[in-house]
Amino acid sequence: MKLFKAAPFTLILLLFSIGSGNAKDMPIGYTSMGGIFTGLFVAQEGGFFDKYGIQSKLVLIPSGSRMAQAILAGDLPIGGGAGNASVDAALAGADFVMLGALAKVPAYYVMALPEIKTVEDLRGKVVGITRFGSSTDFAMRWLLRDNVALATAIRNRLVVAGPLSSPANLRVKDVARLLVDMGKVGVYFPHDAFMARRVFVNTNTDFMRRFTMAYSEGVHALFTQPELAYRAIKKYNRTNDMEVVQSVHQYAMNYVEKIPYNTHEGTEAVLELAAARSAKAKTARPEEFYDDRFVKELETEGFYKKLWGKGLRS
């Protein structure tokens, strides 16, 4: 297969400072308006951060690597982004760690032109990814075992297939078909996870616990309060198109984790990709790159069981 790399985002990064010990207007980063962050949007829109004493504001930084850079620079304390960006930062020597996983599988619909009937038909063809080493790269490489820009590339027949999230998949619905739902193939990858510096996590454990609870209640509302979820999606996707809103909502329910644990297997997959460019990745242990203590504490205390009840099984 040949890989088509979509053009990178252009970003003007706004810098934010955090007052010592002051949680007012606490900036929380996110990298996409897509469905994986809907739990975060609902937590903000539904007042769940306020409930737990966090006066937050959400800041869009549309790249996992730029998110990591912003956190390391002290522009914000925590953000959600591609898990591989957090792992890459840690491999480079930063005191960086993944926290709760927003999605623990490659959350993509692999869309293909009509003439592509099976995965085997992709061999020898040009397929699309957003960036080498990214979750889209992982998804296509895993699929063959050997976003908007991608949607445009498929529409213009520059590529025959590519992994898309929602609502980008809607842009090709009239020219492409669903080939594979990567969430159903049984492979793990930290598509998006919260990330922070270890020093911040270790010196702000009470904040991290409250943050995890607020986010988790946002995820619960995503599943149980559709009107609130629709309102949040409309706001952060800047659309009133109900086809888009409902597509993003369904995508979120398909992929967002109810209990945001990271996985050994997913982090291991990131390290395998990174091993081609990092000697440290070849010997690193997956557990060195994520911290699930707050999620584990809450689950042990019965927080998730009380929150979800029987809905936790579905």
pLDDT, tens digit, 9 for 90 and up, residues 169-226: 888 878 787 787 878 878 888 889 999 999 999 999 999 999 999 999 999 999 999 9
Residue 214: C-alpha distances to residues 27, 42, 82 (Å): 15, 10, 21
Look at residue 7 and tell me if it is in a domain.
no
Same domain, 238 and 170: no
Look at residue 9 and tell me if it is in a domain.
no
Reported confidence tier of residue 77, pLDDT bands at 50, 70, 90:
very high
pLDDT surpasses 50 at 75: yes
DSSP for 187-220 reads ----SEEEEEEHHHHHH-HHHHHHHHHHHHHHHH
Q: What is the CATH number of the domain that holds 116?
A: 3.40.190.10
* Contact between 18 and 26 (Cβ < 8 Å): yes
Same domain, 175 and 240: no
Q: Which ranges constitute the DSSP H helices of the chain?
A: 38-45, 48-51, 64-72, 83-91, 135-144, 148-155, 198-203, 205-224, 226-237, 242-255, 264-274, 279-283, 293-300, 303-308
Look at residue 10 and tell me if it is in a domain.
no
Same domain, 119 and 89: no
Determine the pLDDT at residue 129. 57
Point out the domain boundary residue: 147, 166, 184: 184
Look at residue 268 and tell me if it is in a domain.
yes
Look at residue 6 and tell me if it is in a domain.
no
pLDDT, tens digit, 9 for 90 and up, residues 131-158: 555 556 556 565 555 455 556 665 677 6
Look at residue 13 and tell me if it is in a domain.
no
Domain that holds residue 307: 22-105+189-313
Reported confidence tier of residue 110, pLDDT bands at 50, 70, 90:
confident
Same domain, 49 and 153: no
Look at residue 5 and tell me if it is in a domain.
no
Same domain, 223 and 90: yes
Same domain, 73 and 200: yes
Same domain, 297 and 264: yes
Same domain, 252 and 121: no
Q: Which two tokens mark 88?
A: 């890459």
Number of compact structural domains in the chain: 2
Point out the domain boundary residue: 132, 161, 184: 184
pTM above 0.85, yes or no: no
Point out the domain boundary residue: 166, 184, 202: 184
Same domain, 164 and 42: no
- Tell me the backbone φ, ψ of residue 303, rounded to 5 degrees: -60, -50
Same domain, 77 and 202: yes
Same domain, 199 and 246: yes
Same domain, 178 and 113: yes
Look at residue 78 and tell me if it is in a domain.
yes
Average pLDDT of the residues of the chain: 83
CA distance 270 to 101: 14
